[in-house]
Amino acid sequence: MTLVEQVQGLLGAVARCSWSYEQATVDLPREEWVPAVTAVRDRLGMVLFDWLGAVDEGDAGFDVVLRLWAPADRRGLLLRTRCPRDDARVPSLTAVFAGADWHERETWEMFDIAFDGHPGLVPLLLPDGFVGAPLRKEFVLATRAAQPWPGAPEPGESRADAVPGRRRVLPPGVPAPGTWP
């Protein structure tokens, strides 16, 4: 029985399972997040908490993504849940995995996604007094506003205000073009 079939059998119609790029992925409703993760840990041996983060999906909201591993079977599983932009909150997994504490704090700080039941959502990485969620798509990068972007222009930007390139330096002993005899 494949991992996708095992997860589908364990979680039933609650989960939407898929397999692509040699990776099993499970999409869960937000209200089933903690019970489903607990069941996967207890019944499928996914006992190694690897990583938790988020993806800003624009108007669709945020995907909170969890990576678990079963060391005995040497297989991994991605679990995702979506929360809307206007209600960016997900139940905390700190009671299921103690290691979720740091990851949820980072995700809260960078995306402003609340984790209900977390023991202490306090700033972790950003300086005191920082305002905003820097990994949200609508967050404006200060350096981008202060100076021209060095890369290729984005749609709607022109090259007219771009920084001019460096003067090309010729190797020693090579005459400048137009000065050749």
CA 159 to chain centre: 32
Closest CA to 15 of 7, 5, 6: 7
Beta strands in the chain (DSSP E): 16-20, 23-28, 48-56, 62-70, 75-83, 89-91, 114-116
> What does pLDDT average to over the chain?
87
Q: How many CB atoms lie within 10 A of CB 174?
A: 9
Whether 139 shows a pLDDT value over 90: the answer reads no
pLDDT score at 150: 61
Can you give the pLDDT at residue 143? 59
SS3 140: coil
- Contact predicate 52/103, CB 8 Å: yes
Question: Can you tell me the mean pLDDT for 23-31?
Answer: 95
pLDDT given for residue 37 in this prediction = 97
| Mean pLDDT, rounded, for 31-40 | 97
- Whether 144 has a pLDDT exceeding 60, the answer reads no
Considering 22-26, 145-149, 170-174, 176-180, the range whose residues carry the highest mean pLDDT is 22-26
Domain ranges of the chain: 3-146
For the domain made up of 3-146, give the CATH fold: Beta Polymerase; domain 2 (3.30.460)
Q: What is the CA radius of gyration of the chain?
A: 24
Q: What one-letter code names the amino acid at 77?
A: L
Beta-bridge partners for 68: 49, 77
What letter does residue 35 receive in the DSSP assignment? H
Q: CA 147 to CA 157: how far, in whole Å?
A: 13
Alpha helices, H only, the chain: 3-11, 33-44, 100-111, 142-146
Measured between alpha carbons, how far is 161 from 163 in angstroms, rounded to an integer?
Answer: 7
- Kindly state the tokens that stand for 88: 């960016």
